[in-house]
Amino acid sequence: MTASPSPAGGRRGLDLYHHLLRQVVRGLAWVAGAGLLVMVLVTTVDVLLRVFRLSMTGAYDIVKIAAAVTMAAALPYTTAIKGHVAIEYFFHKLGRRGRVGVDAVMRLLAMALFSLLAWGCVDYGNSLRLKGEVSMTLQLPIFWVPYMLAGSCALVVLIKLYHLTHPGKAMLQP
Nearest to 26 by CA among 60, 63, 73: 73
Phi/psi for 23 (5° steps) reads -65, -40
Q: Is 137 helix (H, G, I), strand (E, B) or coil?
A: coil
Confidence of residue 5 (pLDDT cuts 50, 70, 90): low
* Per-residue pLDDT tens over the stretch 105-142: 999 999 999 999 999 999 999 999 999 999 999 999 99
Confidence of residue 1 (pLDDT cuts 50, 70, 90): very low
Q: Best-predicted range by mean pLDDT among 78-82, 145-149, 163-167?
A: 145-149
pLDDT at position 96: 84
* Per-residue pLDDT tens over the stretch 7-57: 666 788 888 999 999 999 999 999 999 999 999 999 999 999 999 999 899
Q: What percent of the chain has pLDDT over 70?
A: 94
Biggest alpha carbon–alpha carbon distance for the chain: 79
Burial of 118 (0-12, 13-18, 19+ CB in 10 A): buried
Prediction pTM value = 0.87
d(CA 46, CA 103): 46
pLDDT at position 173: 87
User: Alpha helix (H) ranges present in 132-143?
Assistant: none
Domain map (residue ranges) of the chain: 7-165
